[in-house]
Amino acid sequence: MSPPRPGAWAVEVPAGYRVGGWEVTGGIATGSWGSVYDARWVGAGADGLPARAALKFLPTGTVTSRQLSHLAAMAGREVRFHRGGAHERLIRCYDTLVVDDPQAPALDGAAVIVMERARGSLADLMREHAGRPLPDAAALVTQVCEGIAYMHGNGWIHGDLKPANVLLMDDGSVRLADFGLTAEIEGTHGYLPPIGSSGYLPPEYWTESLGERGIAVRTTSDIWALGVLAYQAFTGDFPFPGAGQRAWALAAAQYVRTRAEVPVPDTVPEAWRSIIRDCLAPTHGERARHPAAELLARMRQQPAPRASRVPRRLVAAGAAALILATAGTATAVTVSRRDDRPDAAPSPSFAGDELLKRGVGIPEQYRPLIVAAGTMCDAEGLNPPLIAAMLKVESNFDPDLSDPAKDEYGIARWTPSVLAGYLPGTPPAVPPKPPFPPEMSIPPMGRLLCFQADKLKSVPGDPGLLLAAAYRSSATSVIQARGISPKWRRYTSEVARYRALYTP
């Protein structure tokens, strides 16, 4: 995984910066609340320290008071856990430091955790095997469960288990990482701030009340996340349909309401199918009957099978999945429909009804792509009905639209030079040439709108319609007009009309 572009880091640390005896050499990865950098030891007397390590910077000086309270608590939890937790399945912590540098206000006071350097993450591995099972799925999931069982046995809940927080070492072994949302168990539960990766949170999380100490979480939240992760490792797919964390959370909620059994493919060995189903039991009470230690014992009884290879599904939604997997999303997983035919009727388990109304003229074959684009990020105003409404107004869902006079083509009316910047991977040296099929045109809409949303946060007005106006013109134009200019009001009025029609 390539590092984020400059300016995208939660904490900007220049190469050559010194913290204690460590010198930063380059960036590794960043998240919403902290950034990880590669570093080498340049101090005197290593005292058993490695030549290279990963430095995790958690800021404290350049955020709002509310963010500061969250960050201070997260940094404190992570440092406290690292000082008290030592296990072969947990990333090793060598030291904890605090930056003392008044000349660098953005860094001054930041907590720094010095950790062993990993070669990658389970998310990276899943990207490499997009749409396919992992060859060592059983061994990898068992090692993850070893770490979770150790944490639960010692009174801790991880709270943010997902592929990006499972690190892979040079010898192929697994380490759990990112303990900023780790909670100490008090009786039957702990408390965490309302932060996390919604695609890996259990259904009951969304009905928990938010108190002064945060949201109550239990060990069974980690069990649910383990089930999601195991399903991904064994199948190359996500257990619930949709694209993006909000869509998965809605699908999981529908699953709980209907009490439908999670369909685990027959390519997964029966014993592992049983384990995954137990992890994904719909209620806390049912999952509580299968603690991590019991699940680990069952896993260790199973042979380590060679994961079966399955065909890659290069239908419309499969193409959208590949685009999403390389579009810089927080966690890279494959999204696919459970049918190979683009014109097939949707599976009864497909949760499109939760996100996009049926029977209102939206072509069925484009629904997965629209859901993928509309749930690509958590930007305010971005949702599948908005994407569908924009497509209706832009082209009346015409995949073959061609307007050379305006240099706009395809269902989303892309200008080739603009589309080039929102395709997955490095932008091509030469803009793509039309035609632009829907699977190429629709997902980049979500990527562009996610990018524009950050720029429009301070602009007054309906967030979704501001995004639509920015799509038609530019974010700069919307900012300069302090809203929707008269030129685009007819367009956004039409988008608003269809958005209302398409909203469930």
Give the CATH number, domain containing residue 80: 3.30.200.20
**Domain-embedded: residue 324:** no
**Domain-embedded: residue 420:** yes
- Residues ≥6 apart with Cβ < 8 Å to 205: 196, 215, 217, 221
- Residues 252 and 164 placed together within one structural domain of the fold: yes
Domain containing residue 247: CATH number:
1.10.510.10
**Host domain of residue 107:** 18-117
- Residues ≥6 apart with Cβ < 8 Å to 76: none
How far is 151 from 157, CA to CA, in rounded Å?
6
Domain boundary among 96, 117, 138: 117
**Domain-embedded: residue 458:** yes
- Residues 360 and 391 placed together within one structural domain of the fold: yes
**Domain-embedded: residue 38:** yes
- Residues 160 and 228 placed together within one structural domain of the fold: yes
Q: What is the CA radius of gyration of the chain?
A: 23
- Residues 192 and 276 placed together within one structural domain of the fold: yes
Position 461: which residue type? G
Return averaged pLDDT per consecutive 10 residues of the chain, 504 residues in all. 56 93 91 83 83 85 45 53 67 84 87 87 91 93 93 82 91 82 40 52 65 59 95 91 63 69 89 95 88 92 54 30 29 28 32 73 87 79 95 96 95 93 71 89 89 90 96 94 95 97 93
Domain boundary among 82, 97, 117: 117
**Domain-embedded: residue 111:** yes
- Residues 473 and 424 placed together within one structural domain of the fold: yes
Helix, strand, coil % over all residues of the chain, rounded to 5: 40, 15, 45
Domain boundary among 266, 284, 300: 300
What is the predicted pLDDT for the residue at 263?
83
How far is 20 from 45, CA to CA, in rounded Å?
12
**Domain-embedded: residue 260:** yes
Position 310: which residue type? V
Domain containing residue 459: CATH number:
1.10.530.10
- Residues 400 and 491 placed together within one structural domain of the fold: yes
At 206 the three-state DSSP class reads: helix
- Residues 171 and 49 placed together within one structural domain of the fold: no
What is the predicted pLDDT for the residue at 372?
73
**Domain-embedded: residue 336:** no
**Domain-embedded: residue 344:** no
Please choose, from the candidates 395, 382, 365, 396, the residue with its C-alpha nearest in 3D space to the C-alpha of residue 456. Answer: 382
In the structure encoding, which two tokens stand for residue 380, read together?
């305010």
- Residues 435 and 480 placed together within one structural domain of the fold: yes
- Residues 128 and 107 placed together within one structural domain of the fold: no
Please choose, from the candidates 272, 276, 264, the residue with its C-alpha nearest in 3D space to the C-alpha of residue 302. Answer: 272
- Residues 190 and 44 placed together within one structural domain of the fold: no
Structural domains counted in the chain? 3
- Residues 203 and 99 placed together within one structural domain of the fold: no
Q: Report how far apart, in Å, the C-alpha atoms of 203 and of each of 68, 126, 227, 231, 445 are.
A: 28, 24, 13, 17, 29
- Residues 149 and 256 placed together within one structural domain of the fold: yes
